[in-house]
Amino acid sequence: MVSRNPGELPAWVEQGIAEAGIALRCRRCAGEDELVETAADADVVWFCGPNLCVTEAALRRLPRCRAVFRSGSGLDSIPLDAAKALGIAVHNTPESIAESVAEHAVALLLALVRQITVQDRRVREGRWADSEALQRWHLSRRCLGLVGYGQIARLVEKMLRGFDLRVLHHDPFSPQSTPLPDLLRQADCVSLHCPLTSETRRLIGAAELALMKPGALLVNTARGPVVDEEALVAALRAGRLGGAALDVLEQEPPAADNPLLALGNVVLSPHIAAFSADFERNFWQCSINKLKALCSTSSSRSG
């Protein structure tokens, strides 16, 4: 574990790993040299949170490493091409946060549709009578577009089933995938759930936003750079889009002059979709399970 010092993991997590017969070494590594020093004889490099040390150069200096494991969902901070070239498998645990992120995406969508944050502000300002004009959308029996169709997107679809939505999804790994332009033209609400890769960086730009229905809504709980923020701001200001709900931004935290902060048709949360009362246990239990599987595989290969 290269993102925690000894004693910083919950005791029950260390116990579970030890009971599986896995030797665990912990050090909060700030750079490549510390990583190599710590993991020189390791079969698996494990980290969580921001990647401070797992670089291409570091991986080339770890001849015994067979896998890199990041607890959580995102893999965009890992040098994936270099790992593949070196025969190092890359793993994560999206299942540990899928339910929570899906719930948050649904909450953001409903907040947009029902104008919850705007209504709240108006009531606090004493503007009770003029709030009826804000109700411009109705979710039931509309079309929902899911960009990315992994565990989180499928849970969003399941959670919204009672609204009798027509659901389209775009995912290159799904045989039922709808072409992205077609999805954007038809969807009343678009929710983003794709990983951040070279192919998906700024996947939703000016051209894509122009394809969306006038007044359509955009939700992003994936990664900020999947959306071209400058183009999004322009579409929102022009009234092309009805609103956006964003848990992730291109720059986190946002600069004080980020124009999204001044737009009334934007709902923001601080990259917290994965967190819930059950987050810690789910997060670490899935990590233990993954480490058991990885170390078992590594032992089998060694044998």
Q: Which two tokens stand for residue 289?
A: 């399970």
| 138 assigned to active site | no
Average pLDDT per block of 10 residues along the chain, 303 residues long: 93 94 94 93 92 93 94 87 94 93 98 91 84 74 97 97 98 95 98 94 98 97 97 96 97 97 96 91 94 74 46
Dist. CA 43–CA 245, nearest whole Å: 41
Query: Is 223 tagged catalytic?
Result: yes
Q: Strands, DSSP E only, in the chain?
A: 44-48, 67-71, 89-92, 143-147, 166-170, 189-192, 216-220, 241-246, 266-268
pLDDT confidence of residue 39: 94
pLDDT at 301: 45
The structure tokens listed for 111 are 């907040």
**pLDDT score recorded for residue 72:** 87
pLDDT of res. 122: 86
Cβ atoms of 60 and 36 closer than 8 Å:
no
Cα 6 to Cα 297: distance, rounded to the nearest angstrom: 25
What pLDDT score was predicted for residue 50? 86
User: Of the residues 32, 104, 223, 229, which is catalytic?
Assistant: 223
Q: Are 188 and 143 in contact (CB under 8 A)?
A: yes
Which position among 271, 280, 281, 301 bears the catalytic label?
Answer: 271
Q: What is the rounded CA–CA span in Å between residue 18 and residue 25?
A: 11
pLDDT at 253: 96
Whether 280 is a known active-site residue: answer no
Strand, coil or helix: what is 26?
Answer: coil
Any idea where the domains of the chain sit in the sequence?
11-96+278-302, 98-268
Burial of 11 (0-12, 13-18, 19+ CB in 10 A): exposed
The domains spanning 11-96+278-302 and 98-268 adopt the same CATH topology: yes
Fold classification of 11-96+278-302 is Rossmann fold (3.40.50)
What's the CATH number of domain 98-268, 3.30.1050.10, 3.40.50.720, 3.40.640.10, 3.40.190.290?
3.40.50.720
